[in-house]
Amino acid sequence: MNGFEVLIPIMGILLVMIPVAGFTFALTLRFAVRPMVETLAKAMSESKGGAGDNALSTQIALLQEEVEGLSAEVRELRSAQDFDRRLLGERERA
């Protein structure tokens, strides 16, 4: 019986200390890991956003080049149309 009498206070202390230790560990883990997780999440979102922004800026640059090309073609067509008008106007006069 002497062995059981020693175990009773030890079990009583463990009954209280295990939840306290677990709670303390959980709080420590939460406050220690939270900044690291937030930093990783921010870095991942920035890297995704950066790739999307880069692709978007590339697409915009390509569209601008296409618009400039189309504008040049329209200018050429207008000058050709003006030439045709002048040519037809001189033909009608003659």
Instruction: Give the model confidence (pLDDT) of 39-80 as tens digits.
Output: 888 888 877 755 567 778 888 999 999 999 999 999 999 999
Distance CA 8, CA 26 (A): 27
Backbone torsions φ then ψ of 14, nearest 5 degrees: -65, -35
Q: Is 23 helix (H, G, I), strand (E, B) or coil?
A: helix
Total Cβ atoms within 10 A of residue 57:
10
pTM: 0.42
Please report the pLDDT score of residue 51 as a whole number. Answer: 59
Distance CA 52, CA 58 (A): 10
pLDDT band at 31 (very low <50, low <70, confident <90, very high): confident
Distance CA 42, CA 34 (A): 12
